[in-house]
Amino acid sequence: MVRLHTVAGNGYGSYNLPMIAVFRLMHQQYLLGVGKADITGPVVEINFMGYANTSQVGSGLRQRLYSRAFIIGDVDNPNDRFVYMVLETQSGDTAIRHAILEALTQLGDEYTVYGQRNIALTGTHSHSGPGAWLNYLLPQIPSKGFAKSSYQAIVDGAVQSIKVAPLEPCSWPPQYRNDRG
């Protein structure tokens, strides 16, 4: 008989895992890295990635926008890893993703491990950041075209967030420290 352990789900219920699988998951080491970099780009006289409102134009900076890279790898095979990227943009974009992949190949051998199969690119769905960076026609209409500076800021910051994510061994579950004495 296999003993099952109920694991809390994501709000849509829970699921059962064999106890041996839970034990293995909870007593493994991983390589973990987290990086953050600025992707703000131009903030004045550029249309926001908003609601197709041509009068929604930037006039200054309230707060910066960032890319966050979360890298998870196998301790025994460091080349076996993936990157989950979260951009504070309206969405992910194929042109941005392709440019990130191209930029990583330009960085040398250390970054050849990253490619089409192991980078996931997402956006927070923010409508308050600069627009004009999508490669599709419909979102370019209210932005009055494509702005290379906006696009390049996102690409450069996303690549930088991967570069500054140091991969370090980490046990699961993480060991928390109580600094309160």
Distance CA 50, CA 79 (A): 39
pTM: 0.79
Q: pLDDT tens digits, residue range 13-32?
A: 444 445 555 555 566 788 88
Q: What mean pLDDT do residues 152-170 have?
A: 94
pLDDT tens per residue, range 89-144: 988 888 999 999 999 999 999 999 999 999 999 999 887 788 888 888 887 888 88
Of all residues in the chain, the percent with pLDDT exceeding 90 is: 39
